[in-house]
């Protein structure tokens, strides 16, 4: 079965790449966008603000056809979207051998998203939550784009690399096709000429690093066994990686774990939480760094309290040795009939101002009255979060495999999968919201 894995990495800030340095964000004055060139690519126009569809599911597509499964997205040197996703059963014949990983990005000169490109036909079967099988990253120094994904046809983690802004990709295996354990949850970061990869091999947490075109040098932690299908890799400003995942405790509870490869992994959140045995409420985690300080957003429901907060934010006091108390992120409604809870996936970004933003899909039942989906929670102090949907959201329940980054100070971009076929306001596929 094709299992969708967690990965997806989210930028704390976006450093432009190319032959000349650029500020982390636009300075606030509009430039002649067509004159700006970076790594041989013209900026052109920015994507439109508001709601849009980056990859649209074809009209009349079969129920089994889904475009945008496990979507992963980042901002490029201009904060324009670069997107990879799974196109599942494109011909709708219920034979999933034609599942494929696809790619697009915003072309500011053409003022449109590039035509969808197939990276590789990967096969498999229909997806299952809560997994996420695709991760994407871009090295801010070289402009190299990397996409890590699972190829179920031979049970491998694959890596697609482009050194020409996505025109061409070279493909290679990362994991051993004969390992005998199902691989999942690939997570990739390209930084400073190195490629960092994390993934699950069965339930075992794996990490490897390769420099340039060299071989992957894997560090096998051996005893690190994940509880649940979630793993998030990030790399700090010093080039040192960190990995976050959940570890089962007595088969039902879970410790949230943080591991610096080469050191001992440590539990950083209480095991007095439950989610591992509740179908549809499995935990997930997203890791990012500000400098060398790790920050986390994660889903985990407290033991014996089905209505409690499920989405949390957690910050280290240092480089990951000690941690502050987890901050419960409020739902936008506490009504028994309008819980508006989130699940499975979340995205996290932190601005230079210190404002923390966490996004997650809305998945609860109940009548909507004050916020649509997906949910976007923000706290200028990293403590007091307010939660609602992005402005004028045409979406009720939705927001799976969500990505988030800041394209200007205080302004967010969201990318996610949406599969409602009858919404007159927005089409199914890969949906994007860009804040004005």
Give the mean pLDDT of 102-131.
94
Compute the distance between CA of residue 120 and CA of residue 136 in angstroms, rounded to an integer.
15
pLDDT beyond 50 at 23: no
pLDDT band of 177, cuts 50, 70, 90: confident
Confidence (pLDDT) at 233? 98
Q: Which residues contact 365 (CB under 8 A, 6 or more apart)?
A: 339
Confidence (pLDDT) at 137? 98
* Strand ranges of the sheet holding 156-162, from the earlier edge strand across to the other edge: 134-138, 145-151, 156-162, 170-173
Residue ranges per structural domain of the chain: 33-434
2-16, 68-82, 93-107, 396-410: least confidently modelled range: 2-16
pLDDT beyond 80 at 114: yes
135-172 pLDDT per residue, tens: 999 999 999 999 999 999 999 999 999 999 999 999 99
Confidence (pLDDT) at 334? 53
pLDDT band of 21, cuts 50, 70, 90: very low
Tokens of 436: 């004005």
Give the mean pLDDT of 267-271.
77
Give the mean pLDDT of 276-283.
72
Confidence (pLDDT) at 40? 84
CA dihedral 25, 30, 34, 35 (to 10 degrees): -80
Confidence (pLDDT) at 8? 37
pLDDT band of 13, cuts 50, 70, 90: very low
Mean pLDDT rounded to a whole number for the chain? 86
Q: Are strands 400-408 and 386-388 parallel, antiparallel or unpaired?
A: unpaired
Confidence (pLDDT) at 9? 35
**Does the CA dihedral 389-395-401-402 come out positive or negative?**
negative
Confidence (pLDDT) at 320? 96
287-320 pLDDT per residue, tens: 999 999 999 999 987 665 655 678 999 999 999 9
Confidence (pLDDT) at 273? 64
Q: Which residue has the higher pLDDT, 218 or 6?
A: 218
Answer whether 420's CB lies under 8 Å from 414's CB: no
pLDDT band of 176, cuts 50, 70, 90: confident
Tokens of 277: 């045995």
Looking at the chain, the whole-number percentage of residues with pLDDT higher than 90 is 65
pLDDT beyond 60 at 272: yes
Q: Which residues contact 414 (CB under 8 A, 6 or more apart)?
A: 347, 359, 374, 376, 390, 399, 402, 403, 404, 432, 433, 434
The candidate with the shortest Cα–Cα distance to 259, out of 210, 290, 225, 211, is 225
Answer whether 150's CB lies under 8 Å from 101's CB: no
Confidence (pLDDT) at 73? 98
Helix/strand/coil (H, E, C) string of the chain?
A: CCCCCCCCCCCCCCCCCCCCCCCCCCCCCCCCHHHCEECCEECCCCCCCEEEEEEECCCCCCCCCEEEEEEEEEECCCCCEEEEEEEECCCCCCCHHHCEEEEEEEECCCCEECCCEEEEECCCCCCCCCCCCEEEEECCCCCCEEEEEEECCCCEEEEEEECCCCCCCEEEECCCCCCCCCEEEEEEEEECCEEEEEEEECCEEEEEEEECCCCCEEECCCCCECCCCCEEEEECCCCCEEEEEEEEECCCEEEEEEECCCCCCEEEECCCEECCCCCCCCCEEEEEEECCEEEEEEECCECCCCCCCCEEEEEECCCCCCECCCEECCCCCCCCCCCCCECCCCEEEECCCCCEEEEECECCCCCCCCCCECEEEEECCCCCCEEECCCCCCECCECEEEEEEEEECCEEEEEEEECCCCCCCCCCEEEEEECC
Q: Which residue has the higher pLDDT, 251 or 401?
A: 401
pLDDT band of 274, cuts 50, 70, 90: low
Give the mean pLDDT of 418-436.
95
pLDDT beyond 70 at 1: no
CATH T-level topology, domain 33-434: Neuraminidase (2.120.10)
Q: Which of 99-108, 210-219, 266-275, 341-350 has the highest mean pLDDT?
A: 99-108
Give the mean pLDDT of 324-347.
79
Confidence (pLDDT) at 248? 82
28-32, 83-87, 253-257, 295-299: least confidently modelled range: 28-32
354-398 pLDDT per residue, tens: 999 999 998 765 555 568 889 999 999 999 999 998 989 999 888
Answer whether 56's CB lies under 8 Å from 73's CB: no
């Amino acid at each position: 079965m094709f299992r969708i894995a967690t990965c997806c990495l989210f930028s704390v800030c976006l450093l432009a790449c190319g032959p000349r340095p650029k500020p982390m964000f636009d300075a606030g004055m509009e430039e002649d966008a067509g004159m700006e060139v970076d790594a041989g690519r013209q900026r052109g126009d920015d994507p439109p603000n508001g709601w849009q569809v980056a990859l649209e599911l074809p009209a009349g597509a079969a129920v089994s056809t889904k475009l945008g499964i496990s979507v992963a997205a980042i901002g490029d040197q201009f904060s324009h979207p670069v997107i990879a996703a799974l196109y599942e059963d494109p011909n709708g014949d219920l034979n999933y051998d034609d599942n494929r990983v696809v790619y697009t990005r915003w072309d500011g000169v053409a003022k449109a998203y590039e035509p969808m490109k197939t990276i590789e036909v990967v096969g498999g079967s229909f997806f299952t939550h809560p997994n996420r099988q695709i991760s994407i990253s871009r090295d801010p120094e070289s402009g190299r784009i990397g996409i890590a994904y699972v190829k179920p046809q031979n049970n491998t983690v694959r890596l697609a690399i482009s050194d020409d802004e996505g025109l061409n990709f070279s493909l290679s295996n990362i994991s051993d096709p004969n390992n005998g354990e199902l691989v999942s949850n690939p997570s990739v970061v390209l930084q400073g000429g190195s490629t960092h990869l994390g993934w699950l091999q069965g339930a075992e947490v794996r990490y490897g690093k390769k420099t340039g075109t060299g071989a992957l040098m894997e560090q096998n932690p051996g005893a690190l066994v994940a509880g649940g299908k979630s793993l998030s890799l990030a790399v700090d400003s010093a080039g040192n990686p960190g990995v976050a995942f959940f570890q089962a405790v007595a088969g039902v509870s879970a410790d949230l774990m943080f591991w610096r490869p080469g050191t001992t992994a440590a539990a950083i959140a209480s095991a007095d939480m439950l989610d591992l045995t509740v179908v549809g409420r499995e935990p997930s985690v997203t890791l990012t760094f500000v400098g060398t300080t790790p920050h986390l957003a994660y889903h985990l429901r407290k033991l014996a309290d089905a209505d409690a907060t499920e989405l949390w934010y957690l910050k280290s006091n240092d480089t990951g040795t000690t941690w502050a108390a987890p901050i419960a992120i409020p739902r936008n409604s506490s009504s028994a009939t309008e819980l508006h809870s989130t699940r499975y996936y979340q995205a996290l970004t932190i601005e230079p101002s210190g404002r923390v933003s966490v996004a997650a899909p809305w998945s609860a039942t109940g009548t909507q009255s004050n916020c649509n989906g997906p949910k976007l929670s923000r706290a200028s102090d990293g403590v007091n979060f307010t939660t609602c949907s992005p402005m004028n959201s045409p979406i009720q329940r939705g927001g799976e495999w969500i990505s988030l980054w800041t394209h200007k100070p205080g302004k967010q971009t969201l990318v996610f999968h949406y599969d409602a076929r009858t919404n007159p306001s927005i089409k199914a596929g890969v949906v994007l919201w860009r804040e004005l």
